[in-house]
Amino acid sequence: MIKADKIFIDNINEILSNGYSTEDGKVRPHYSDGTPSHTLFIPQVYEKYDISKGEFPIITLRPTAWKSGIKEIFWIYQDQTNELSVLKEKYNIHWWDDWNVGDGTIGKRYGATVKKYDLINKLLDGIKSEPYGRRHIMDLYQYSDFDESEGLHPCAFMSLWTVRGDYLDMTLVQRSNDFLVAGHINKIQYVALMMMIAKATGYKPGIFTHFVQNLHIYDRHTKQAKELLDRNPKDTQAKLILDTDKTNFYDFTIDDFKMENYDPIKPQLKFELAI
C-alpha cells in the first residue's frame, strides 16, 4: 500500500471512530435544501511527503481531478483574479459557482489577495535574493479583504517556503479541509505550485508538508467514506512531473505537467456539497 492511501484510510477510520460531532451546535454551511451541514472532525492533522524521493500525495482509492486542481492554481497564482468568468471560460471549472457573492466573483479572496499584495513576485524575488531567509511566506488570510467584501474565507490559506541546498521545501497550512471531496486535490495543487516555484527559482522540489487544523467528513458523506474503506488500494505510486524547460512562473501551463502511473479505482463517487 502506498503512503497516501495508508494515511487516507487511517484518517477516515480516526474520523469515523473518534471524530468530534458538531451536531450539538450551530454551523455556518448548509446543503442545497437548507439543512445545516454537520461534520465529524479531528484537529491538527499532519502529513509529510518527500517529493524528491518519489513520494506523492495522490490516492488510488478514487479518481482525483488533478488537472482541474492545477488549473485552479493557475487561476489563483498566475491570473491572480477572483472572477468566476476567468475560471469557467479559460479553464472550464465550475465548482466555485455556488460561492458567487453576486458580482461574478468569490469576493476579495484568493487570486484577488495574491494580486493586491503582490505575493507571488515577492516570494520569487525573496527566494532568489535571499534563499536561506526564513520569511518566505504567502498568507491569504487578510482581514482587511474580509472587511472589504463577502465571501468564503480561504481554507488553504498559508504556504511557507524553505531552501535546503538544491531543494525547495514547502508547508501548506489549512484551517479547514473537506477530506473526502477536496483533501487530495488540495495536496496535488500545492505540490504543483511548489514545482512551479522551484523551477522558476532554480531549485528542485523537495519536501511537501500539509497541516490541517480541522479535518472533517460531512454527515451526508459517511456512506461514501465506508465505501472507500471497502475498496482495496493498489500498490502503484503515481508521480507528477513538471516537464518543461520554461523558467518563467507565469508561462507554465497544464500541458507542462504529466502524471505517470496513475490508475485509480473507479467508479467515481458523488458528494453533496456543503455551501
Q: What percent of the chain has pLDDT over 90?
A: 93
Cell 472587511 belongs to residue? 147
Domain spans, the chain: 3-23+40-64+129-260
Contact call for residues 150 and 101 (beta carbons, < 8 A): yes
Task: Dump pLDDT digits (tens) for 213-261.
Answer: 999 999 999 999 999 999 999 999 999 999 999 999 999 999 999 999 9
CATH class of 3-23+40-64+129-260: alpha beta
- For residue 144, indicate whether it is catalytic: no
Task: Dump pLDDT digits (tens) for 148-206.
Answer: 999 999 999 999 999 999 999 999 999 999 999 988 899 999 999 999 999 999 999 99
Q: State the pLDDT at residue 273.
A: 83
Quote the pTM value. 0.96
Q: State the pLDDT at residue 187.
A: 97
**Active-site pick, 9, 16, 124, 155:** 155
Task: Round the average pLDDT of the chain to a whole number and report it.
Answer: 96
Q: What is the mean pLDDT of residues 2-18?
A: 97
Q: What is the mean pLDDT of residues 40-61?
A: 97
Q: Indicate if the pLDDT at residue 90 is higher than 90.
A: yes
For the ranges 9-18, 30-39, 87-96, 129-138, the lowest mean pLDDT is seen at: 30-39
Q: State the pLDDT at residue 240.
A: 98
Q: Is 203 exposed, middle or buried (0-12, 13-18, 19+ CB in 10 A)?
A: buried
Q: What is the DSSP string of the chain?
A: --HHHHHHHHHHHHHHHHPEE-TTS--S-B-TTS-B--EEEEEEEEEEEEGGGT-----SSS---HHHHHHHHIIIIIS---BHHHHHHHH---TTGGG--SSSB--S-THHHHHHTTHHHHHHHHHHH-TT-S--EEE---HHHHHHS--PPPSEEEEEEEEETTEEEEEEEES-EEHHHHHHHHHHHHHHHHHHHHHHHT-EEEEEEEEEEEEEEEGGGHHHHHHHHHS-------EEEE--S---GGG--GGGEEEES----SSPP--PPP-
Q: Indicate if the pLDDT at residue 70 is higher than 90.
A: yes
13 grid coordinates? 477510520
Q: State the pLDDT at residue 199.
A: 98
Q: State the pLDDT at residue 184.
A: 87
68 grid coordinates? 482541474
The band of 275, judged by pLDDT with boundaries at 50, 70 and 90, is: confident
